[in-house]
Copies of this chain bind each other. A is one copy, B any other.
């Protein structure tokens, strides 16, 4: 499946790098705000970085199967576009949330909301194919 979907593989690697970025930002915030593990509460600045990474885990678990299904049903390029937009959306989410809770909205639209739309569109594609 990877062999025939080179752009999707690229988008997958980009998404994993965006996820690593969210992890790196939590480590940075631990140092900056002096929050020692296992604590995950303290300065709101740390808590926003932590929630941004946690939310990225929650979205990544939805993104990975959707990316595979999109590659299968819509082809390499369409899946890669989904993956690239999602990855940019995640970086905007993490960076926006780091500044202010309200500034995560754009990143959410481009990743979380996008994934919901992709899920519904995949179901429509499958239903239309079979009836």
Contacts and interface: CB of A to CB of B under 8 A. Distances in A.
Given A36-B101, A38-B47, A62 B122 contact: no
A110 interface: no
A16 B62 contact: yes
Contact of A57 (B20, B50, B61, B72): B61
Contacts of A97: 38
Interface string A13-31: 1001101100100000000
Given A1-B1, A38-B101, 13 more contacts: A2-B69, A9-B69, A13-B119, A13-B123, A16-B119, A17-B119, A20-B116, A23-B58, A36-B101, A38-B48, A38-B97, A57-B57, A57-B61
